[in-house]
Amino acid sequence: MRELEGKTILVTGASSGIGRAAIAVFSRHGARVIAAARRQEQTEQAVDAANAMGGSAAFLPVDIADEASVDALFDRIRKDYGRLDGAFNNAGKEAPQALLPDTPVATFDDVMATNARGTWLCLRREMQIMREQGAGSIVNTSSIAGIMSFPGSSAYGASKSAVIAMTRSAALDLAPLGITVNCICPGATRSEMSARWAERLPNGEADLAAFNPMKRIGEPEEQAEAASFLLSDRARYINGAVLVIDGGASLG
């Protein structure tokens, strides 16, 4: 089913992991994809691959931690596309693991600047466009770190909890117009970040998988497919939802 047929969809953090998978998944579902990221070469490789399979995707640069860069992105979207039917706010960064008293203030500020403030900056501009249109859907990427606690992750966890809070508030703001805002909370998912986590464990990815009731980690395409559904008209009555996609890892 081409559930995003005819929709113009923005993906941030599109150079790797879930965002990179979203370029392919959304394209297969018929979307015109705006793939936004800092790393141009990596993102354009994914864009070219999607277009070679019949998709319609294009790269635009953005650093979501930089307000001027975010404004330039959305000014370009208005100019080149004229509308924005959906947005997948997936850009984010990890923070070095450290106990809270050992975490530098600069580390906290850095991760919050991207994961919390950057997501908020994108939401603000997306919702302005969608309010003018009277329609649209948004999906934010949080994390299971936003709903449960891990030692040494106070800064990262705070940033991802903030994404959940702003998702719920934003979902109420324009609900009368039928504009929906939801978020996904991925567990361990194959990506550059999960590879770095695995490097810290004695048995690598096998140890990550062992923590999961399904005895595996997730694939980025599985997260992107869930985001695609939430961006589609099939999910038009889902608003403010926090969808945990972790194979049951957060159940205890």
Q: What is the pLDDT of residues 175-233, one digit of tens each?
A: 999 999 999 999 989 877 766 766 676 777 777 777 888 998 899 999 999 999 999 99
Could you tell me the end-to-end alpha-carbon distance of the chain, in angstroms, rounded to an integer?
35
Residue 195 confidence (pLDDT): 67
Residue 35 confidence (pLDDT): 99
Number of CB atoms found within 10 A of residue 235's CB: 19
The rounded distance, in Å, linking the Cα atoms of 241 and 244 is 9
Give the chain's domains with CATH numbers: 8-189+219-246 (3.40.50.720)
Residue 174 corresponds to which amino acid? L
Residue carrying the six token digits 């019949």: 54
Residue 192 confidence (pLDDT): 73
Catalytic residues: 156
In our burial notation (b when 16+ CB lie closer than 10 A, e otherwise), range 132-156 reads eeebbbbbbbbbbbbbbeeeebbbb
Residue 211 confidence (pLDDT): 81
Residue 70 corresponds to which amino acid? V
Q: What is the pTM of this model?
A: 0.94
3-state secondary structure of 99: coil
Q: Can you list the residues of the chain whose pLDDT is less than 50?
A: none
